[in-house]
Structure 1
Amino acid sequence: MLKTSNALIARATLQRVGNKLSQEINYSTSEEIPLTSDEETILKSFFLSSIRSSQDLMKFTHHVSLDYNTVYDSTSKFFQQEISFIDYSNNILNHLYEKSNHPQIKTGELFIVLFQEIQFQEITTDAIGIFKIEKKIDYLKFNATEDDMDFMISKGVKLQKIDKGCLILNSEQSDGYRVLSIDNNSYDANYWKKSFLDLEEVMNDSYQTKHHLQLLSNFSNTMVDEGDTFVQKEFMSQGVQLFNDNEVITKDILEQELLSPFDVVDSYDNFKTQYKKENNLDLEEHFNVSVPTLKKEKRKIKSQINLDTKIQIKLDISEGDTVKENIEKGFDEERKMHYYKVYYNEET
């Protein structure tokens, strides 16, 4: 979806945003920061490698009109050359400050970066990155001469992942642009994506794949009977197998190959209706499976059976048919205990 190997930083600013509730002061900017070739290489990798971990394609929204979304409006004006990059950076800083009105929100450094030569889907375009750095760590810096060596302790940032960030691609402006966003701090979850950016997911194949799998996973929790989790794991294993084997998922395929064998067609339909309403989802009956999203979501599905005898059985849910054929569950009348029987050729 996103390729950044040829990307370059064309412009950048550095500011500091405070906590409005605590009446902290902002540090705005009147000029761009110059970057050496080495600095550009390091910062580009730092910012974009973090963004690439985001799989959900988002877009700006607003309950009244997109023009009332501050980040969208300022971004449109900049891309249309109605305001300068400095004015844009200060607009974003001030808007973020206005939304920093909760005691848990931390002061942080704010980088705003204009990237060029970003490859997104089938196009090459510009993009604006907004990155906030919050967490600092102590580190040692050593100084050595011919006669002596000493050190000093400073605070800095590990150049591994950004705390908060978004990349606004100059694509699909009329539909709220296309945005990738990350937030690696969970203590203020609504602050970045909702209050500041006001984003919603783009309803594409990735959206459908993700939310249908999450729907199946949540529904499988209702199938657990008196602590018996095997049917739940088997259901999800067969569900993932279904997504693996089909490029397109339809209502008929889902019912015939997954729901009917478990005799849950009606209960699933009832659960789905309530689930969509509670989570404000728009789920289609026919969609293409997004392979990258499928791989990501499979890692989230719990595949381990924990037994009270301190034994754990971990299933490979991506191999539903193999799991079904090679594991049996029963009850031993003599010992009055449940058991699993597992078939295999050799240990690996």
Structure 2
Amino acid sequence: MSSNFETNIAQLSIHKVGNQALDEALILSQNPTPIIDDTLATLLRQYFLGPFEKSNEVYRLSHTTGNLQLNEVYHFAEQIFADATQFHTHSMQLAKLLYKVGSHPKIKSGEMYCCYFDALPIEGEMVAAIGIFKSESKEPYLTIHHNDTAYQMAYEEQAINIKKLDKGCIIFNTEAEEGYKVTVIDQTNQTEASYWIDAFLQLRIRNDAYNQTNTVLSIYKDFVKNEMDQLFDMSKTDKIDLLNRSIKYFKENDDFNIDTFSHEVINNEAGIASFKNYKSNYEQTMESPIPDSFAIHIAAVKKQARVYKSVLKLDKNFHIYIHGNNDLIEKGYDEALQMNYYKVYFREEV
């Protein structure tokens, strides 16, 4: 969404944020970091913006009280957008905030990069943006140089892989009154590292068509996997068929309607009632209502289609991919071999 390798990094400030629980220091740069040449600028754009290229979710900065001014990241972003000449000063305050909230002992120290972009694209408009990024993972790398007679090798033990951004967010200068448009990356996949999204940024997902489509498909997938067994004696092929039919519905329709979807896909009154109750419980738990009708976002459908399982895994010998009519596959049991089997019907090999 926001990857644009031609944009200008107008300002860059780098600070070292340690873990205060481990008595690691916060080291603040007193001056911005110059970008010395075009090659470095290109590499930095790739490092900072590349991971956001396929990011479709848009978030908002928020606060539990509803008062955005109590969200410190929002406060400093507002100050920067109002007067970019004070960018470095506010970047220091953002580093202090990250240091304060990152107190879990498993959180890694790392460099925090604050960037000011003159213009980045977001949903069809070009706006100024603030990027906040953190590198925690370091890797060794080798360099090779040739002199007059031979190649010489050197190494750097604590180098940064520009294809592996650990954490990042981009705050776009649009819709400020609603908490700005924000995209986010967190590659750590650790429960304790939720401090980036929850404690530092205090983000909430924007309840738009993309999020609604993505959420309903996620809820339905979990419902089929976790709830249907309690209601019906279902085979794995039946479950795969239900998942395939749901993706088919979302691909073939412009709008979602829960009643139409339920009758076309589930087509069972007890199952329909259970699914609606499952969705309602999710909304109450997450405190995020999902409308019963909304426009379908095709990018969210494509994302979910990649994780919907349509594969039967049989021991370690066979995988059967089921893309359509599950009436053409039968399950049985061979008494002589004392093994299960599947019988598959088809017209021709492709």
Q: Which amino acid aligns with 1:175?
A: E
Q: Which amino acid aligns with 2:21?
A: L
Aligned 8 A contact 2:166 2:186 in 1: yes
Q: Which amino acid aligns with 1:40?
A: A
**Aligned equivalent of 2:122:** 120
Give the Cα–Cα distance (whole angstroms) in 2 for the partners of residues 189 and 54 of structure 1: 20
Across the two proteins, how many residue pairs are aligned to each other? 342
- The answer to whether 1:192 aligns with 2:193 is no
Q: Which amino acid aligns with 1:202?
A: R
Aligned 8 A contact 1:6 1:118 in 2: no
Structure 1's consecutive aligned runs of 4 or more residues displaced over 4 angstroms after TM superposition are: 332-339
Aligned 8 A contact 2:5 2:45 in 1: no
Aligned 8 A contact 1:47 1:161 in 2: no
Query: What secondary structure, in the 3-state scheme, does the structure 1 residue paired with 2:107 have?
Result: coil
Q: Which amino acid aligns with 2:55?
A: S
Superposed CA offset, 1:215-256 (max 9, x none): 110110222356721211111111110001101011232132
Give the Cα–Cα distance (whole angstroms) in 2 for the partners of residues 24 and 247 of structure 1: 53
Superposed CA offset, 1:106-162 (max 9, x none): 110111111122121132101111110110111122333213543222120111131
Aligned 8 A contact 2:143 2:154 in 1: yes
Give the Cα–Cα distance (whole angstroms) in 2 for the partners of residues 3 and 183 of structure 1: 16
Aligned 8 A contact 1:329 1:338 in 2: no
Distance 1:39 1:308, change over 3 A: closer
Of 105, 108, 130, the match for 2:107? 105
**Aligned equivalent of 1:171:** 174
Give the Cα–Cα distance (whole angstroms) in 2 for the partners of residues 112 and 250 of structure 1: 43
Provide the TM-score with structure 2 as the length reference.
Answer: 0.90
Unpaired runs of 5+ residues, structure 2, are: none
Give the Cα–Cα distance (whole angstroms) in 2 for the partners of residues 131 and 145 of structure 1: 38
Q: Which amino acid aligns with 1:72?
A: Y
Aligned 8 A contact 2:5 2:42 in 1: no
CA RMSD of aligned residues (A): 2.3
- The answer to whether 1:201 aligns with 2:205 is yes
CA drift of 1:341 comes to 3.3
Distance 1:226 1:258, change over 3 A: closer
Query: What secondary structure, in the 3-state scheme, does the structure 1 residue paired with 2:15 have?
Result: strand
Query: What secondary structure, in the 3-state scheme, does the structure 1 residue paired with 2:163 have?
Result: coil
**Aligned equivalent of 1:319:** none
Superposed CA offset, 1:294-329 (max 9, x none): 11111122222223584321223xxxxxx1266232
Distance 1:148 1:310, change over 3 A: closer
Aligned 8 A contact 2:3 2:50 in 1: no
Aligned 8 A contact 1:223 1:231 in 2: no
Report the identity percentage. Answer: 26
Query: What secondary structure, in the 3-state scheme, does the structure 2 residue paired with 1:241 have?
Result: helix
Aligned 8 A contact 1:77 1:83 in 2: no
Aligned 8 A contact 2:263 2:272 in 1: no
Query: What secondary structure, in the 3-state scheme, does the structure 1 residue paired with 2:30 have?
Result: coil
Query: What secondary structure, in the 3-state scheme, does the structure 2 residue paired with 1:185 have?
Result: coil
Query: What secondary structure, in the 3-state scheme, does the structure 2 residue paired with 1:21 have?
Result: helix
Superposed CA offset, 1:5-55 (max 9, x none): 542211111221111111211221222222111111111122111122322
- The answer to whether 1:180 aligns with 2:187 is no
Q: Which amino acid aligns with 1:231?
A: D
